[in-house]
Structure 1
Amino acid sequence: MQRPKYFTPREVSLHSTLDDLWLSYLGKVYDLTPLVNEFKGDVILKPIIECAGKDISHWFDPKKKDILTHIDPLTGCLKYYTPRGRFVHVPPPCPRTDWANDFGKPWWRDSYYEVGLLSAKTRWIRIINTLTSEEQTLEVCSEEILEEIVQRYLRYNSHAASYTWKHNHLNLDMTKTLCENGIIDEDEDFYQCRMDHDLHTESICLYFNDDLTEF
């Protein structure tokens, strides 16, 4: 089974324009660019555009996986709670003949827009190339296995697969996460001790294998 792709909140925030608009909610990441193109110029897009690149989980009921609702004090009817204003696929507050409700699934329930999962916890890791002495610090998703972290590192070294990845002189299992490889996330301990976690970032050392493998 293919593993889902994880994104950091920082990566989601980079997609914040009308031509490239992502949102995250309830642990998933969605590319709403096609939706924005479909309703381009419509004021009903405003709440979505205002939150481009952000997490909007607070719009949803986590149990029902639907937009939050409330009882309208004037009509006594159950309605969607949209404090930023009504947005795409939310029905109007009163019956209207010009509202098309034949769109099928509302966008927040449509897996078509889903591009991956939002990391529940990100962490920083130092990667040291022992051949060149170059060092990079990467923000990675705690859920990612080492093979996926290699993909993040490729922009710094296209021959990343030609190296043996080690921590504390032990070979790492590329099919496991950092924690599963014994590289523990100590952010909580640093927080409890009121210490700056930037003072100590776990490192991975790369040792060249001389086969010039590229991904």
Structure 2
Amino acid sequence: MSPARAPYYTPREVSRHCTPNDLWVSYLGRVYDLTPLAKENRGDILLKPIILSAGKDISHWFNVKTGDIKTYVDPQTGCLKHYTPQGRFLHVPPSFPCSDWDTDFGRPWWRNTSYEVGILSSKTRIIRIINTLTSQEHTLEVCSEETIYEILGRYLPYNAHAASYTWKYCGVPLNMELTLEENGVRDEDEEFEELKMDCDSHTASIHLYFNDDLTEL
């Protein structure tokens, strides 16, 4: 089995964490759980833009090269300001001199890696998993970067004994340490789109064969 690594999340999974008591965001390819930040600053008006963005990707707030909040020159004042499209938020300094600006918070939250929980998938895929022993089928949205072992983890809620099966595609056993693409399960969404075909009607199917099933000798 591959060594443990940071988990991948789909945008849909991130979007489920969309309340002040369960607040996730994604930016610059990473996923962050800002629930502790929200609890520590409950009632602070500067928390509002973050709450409004709960469950969403906020990469547009950041400079890709520096990883910091975007800045721009105000055309009226000529001063450098932070880009805060939904209003100034926690740890962003005011745009004018202010005596009550508290700077003892340490690292700004977007630089605090302790909030990081995983990686945002750059492309998700829909696959069907068919249990040949029970004839049950389940459709899963998975991350294209995930190995078959990691996909197996997503499937466990439907079959707690998933590891006792041989996973196959077109009759060929899959290498559990490789991704779908690396196993020859191609992502043909772009081709289907070019041909104006419905991608959802052409879902790759993974067949599971129980290892103790004597019919599979």
Q: Number of aligned pairs?
A: 211
Structure 2 residue matching 1:95: 3-state secondary structure: coil
Other structure's SS at 1:165 match: strand
Secondary structure (helix, strand or coil) at the match of 1:188 reads helix
Within the candidate set 156, 167, 170, 2:169 is matched to 167
Give the C-alpha shift of residue 95 in structure 1: 1.6
Instruction: Please give the TM-score of this superposition, normalised by the length of structure 2.
Output: 0.95
State the match for 1:17 in structure 2.
19
Query: Does residue 73 of the first structure (1) align with residue 75 of the second (2)?
Result: yes
2: CA distance, partners of 1:164 / 1:54: 37
Residue identity opposite 2:39 in structure 1: N
Q: How many angstroms does 1:93 deviate by?
A: 1.4
Residues 31-42 of structure 1: pairs in structure 2 closer than 5 A: 31-42=33-44
Aligned mates of 2:4, 2:202 — CA distance in 1: 34
Counterpart position of 1:137 = 139
Superposition map of 1:196-211 within 5 A? 196-210=198-212
Consecutive aligned runs of 4 or more in structure 1 exceeding 4 Å deviation: none
Counterparts in 2 of 1:12-161, with a 5 A limit?
12-161=14-163
RMSD of Structure 2 on Structure 1 (CA) = 1.2
Summarize deviations over 1:146-167 as a string: whole Å, max 9, x none.
Answer: 0000000000000000000000
Q: Deviations over 1:156-181 (max 9, x none)?
A: 00000000000011010000000000
- Which sections of structure 1, spanning at least 5 residues, go unmatched? none
Alignment TM-score, normalising by the size of structure 1: 0.95
- CA deviations over 1:60-85 (Å, ceiling 9, x no partner): 11111111101123432212111211
**Aligned mates of 2:161, 2:70 — CA distance in 1:** 48
For 1:83 and 1:147, the matched residues in 2 are separated by: 40
**How far apart, in 2, do the equivalents of 1:68 and 1:203 lie?**
43
- Structure 2 unaligned residues grouped into runs of 5+: none
Q: State the distance in 2 between where 1:12 and 1:59 align.
A: 17
How far apart in 2 are the matches of 1:53 and 1:38? Answer: 19
Structure 1: distance between partners of 2:134 and 2:85: 54
Give the Cα–Cα distance (whole angstroms) in 2 for the partners of residues 75 and 89 of structure 1: 22
Distance (whole Å) between structure 1 residues aligned to residue 201 and residue 91 of structure 2: 48
